[in-house]
Amino acid sequence: MRKTTLLGAGLAFTLLFSPFQHAFAAETKGELRQVDLVAHRGASGYAPENTVAAFDKAVEMKADYIEIDVQRSKDGKLVIIHDTKVDRTTDGTGYIKDLSFDQIRSLDAGSWKGEQFKGEKIPTFDEILDRYHGKIGILIELKSPELYPGIEEMVAQELKERNLDKPQNEKIIIQSFNFESMKKTNSLLPKVPIGVLTSNKVDTTEQALKEFATYADYFNPSYGIVTEELVNLVHEKGLKIQSWTVRSHEAADFLLKMKVDGIITDYPDYVDPR
């Protein structure tokens, strides 16, 4: 039995009474907008990605979810950063897996975006869970989990400690480009929705989607491969579809027209100008 069928009734009840229900009833140009608004690495168009500044901005802009990237330091601390190296978004250099947490925490992760963000730090996974769960949904991406054996168990443990492994609590989704990692995560957290990420058309066939539906709830492709036919096929397989990464009004309008279930964007106001 697919996970989606097991989650259906509880999810419907949650959405009906959820503070996030505006995502299913927000008006856009006079029409009902049935789409989740996901702030990509926070509202990263306006603040340094994967920092508290960006996540706070996403909350302020009334996004339905923040999307975060989870990796692990050399000494085993789960940290929030996109690249496997710190070079692009900090004043440091080196691979996350080769740096201690103290080294990572000492870096400035904000100045590259603007002087007003000087001193922003790379946050930890537990800090983000504690700060935002109950305020906004959290879309958790396991970034290159093949580099971090056992990271799935660590993420699962952090969620279980906060009772976030049950869908009736708060909005949590876990996704990755690594399909085997998502199969493992599904076995560890059978009640948490799972997403698979791809930009490869080979993953859009009916057979591929049928396989994804055995362990996932979301099929999350890059918007460059989204078509009306793909959206319909994803829905036929009992999956939802969230697409990334929107950085223009045109891309947002296209995905709204395609009737995807979620839009992952650096600019939340491009999807919903509230």
Is 235 marked active-site? Answer: no
| Cis preceding-peptide flag for 185 (omega within 30 of 0) | no
The one-letter amino acid at 224:
G
Helix (H) or strand (E) run with residue 197 in it: strand 194-198
The angle that helices 179-188 and 151-161 make with each other, rounded to 10 degrees, is 40
Is 40 marked active-site? Answer: yes
Cα–Cα nearest to 62, from 171, 137, 169, 131: 137
Helix (H) or strand (E) run with residue 172 in it: strand 172-176
The angle that helices 52-60 and 125-132 make with each other, rounded to 10 degrees, is 20
The one-letter amino acid at 78:
L
DSSP symbols for 208-270 = HHHHHTTT-SEEEEBGGG--HHHHHHHHHTT-EEEEEEE-SHHHHHHHHHHT-SEEEES-HHH
List 22, 40, 133, 235, catalytic entry: 40
Distance from C-alpha of 121 to C-alpha of 176, rounded to nearest angstrom: 24
Q: Which two tokens stand for residue 20?
A: 């996030």
Q: What angle do CA 218, 220, 225 make, to 5 degrees?
A: 140
The one-letter amino acid at 97:
K
21 three-class SS: helix
User: Which residues are catalytic, by number?
Assistant: 40, 82
